[in-house]
Amino acid sequence: MEFLDAPPLPFYFSPDHEQFRASLRDFVAREITPNVHEWDEAETFPRSLYERAAEMGIQGLGYPEEYGGTPADVFYQLVVAEEFARCGGGGVQASMNSHSIALPPILAAGSDELKRRVIPPVLAGKKIAALAITEPSGGSDVANLRTTAVRDGDHYVVNGEKTFITSGIRADFITTAVRTDPAVKGSGGISVLVIDGDTLGLTRTPLKKMGWWSSDTAHLHFDNCRVPATNLVGVENRGFKIFMKNFNSERLFMSALACGYAEVCLKEAVDWTRQRTLSGIPLSERQVVRHKLMDMTLRIDAARTLVYDLAYRIEHQLSDPARLVARICLAKVQATQAMQFCADQAVQLLGGMGYMRGTQSERIYREVKVMMIGGGSEEVMKDLAARQLGV
DSSP 375: T
321-350 and 360-373 are packed helices; what angle lies between their axes, rounded to 10 degrees?
Answer: 150
Taking phi first (over 0 means left), then psi (-120 to 50 degrees means alpha), and beta for anything else, what does residue 186 get?
A: left
Indicate if 250 belongs to the active site. yes
- pLDDT score for 76: 96
Give Cβ neighbours of residue 33 (< 8 Å, ≥ 6 apart): 86, 87, 88, 89
Domain 2-99+111-123 has CATH 1.10.540.10: yes
- pLDDT score for 336: 98
Listed as ranges, residues in the chain with pLDDT below 70 are: 1-9, 139-141
CA contacts within 13 A on the Cβ side of 87: 30
pLDDT tens digits for 167-176? Answer: 999 999 999 9
Range(s) of the chain covered by CATH 2.40.110.10: 129-237
The identity of residue 25, as a single letter, is R
- pLDDT score for 142: 74
Closest CA relative to residue 300, chosen from 257, 256, 259:
259
- pLDDT score for 2: 53
> What is the β-pairing status of strands 190-196 and 155-166?
unpaired
- Give this prediction's pTM: 0.94
- pLDDT score for 144: 80
Homologous superfamily of domain range 129-237: Butyryl-CoA Dehydrogenase, subunit A, domain 2 (2.40.110.10)
Range(s) of the chain covered by CATH 1.20.140.10: 241-388
- pLDDT score for 91: 95
Please give the span between the terminal C-alpha atoms of the chain, in angstroms, as a whole number: 42
Q: Which of 83, 135, 161, 250 is catalytic?
A: 250
- In this structure, are residues 33 and 88 in contact, taking their beta carbons and an 8 Å threshold? yes
> What is the β-pairing status of strands 173-179 and 129-132?
parallel
Measured CA angle at 221 (ends 216, 224), to 5 deg: 145
- CATH architecture of the region 241-388: Up-down Bundle (1.20)
- In this structure, are residues 352 and 370 in contact, taking their beta carbons and an 8 Å threshold? no
Give Cβ neighbours of residue 264 (< 8 Å, ≥ 6 apart): 85, 86, 88, 360, 361, 364
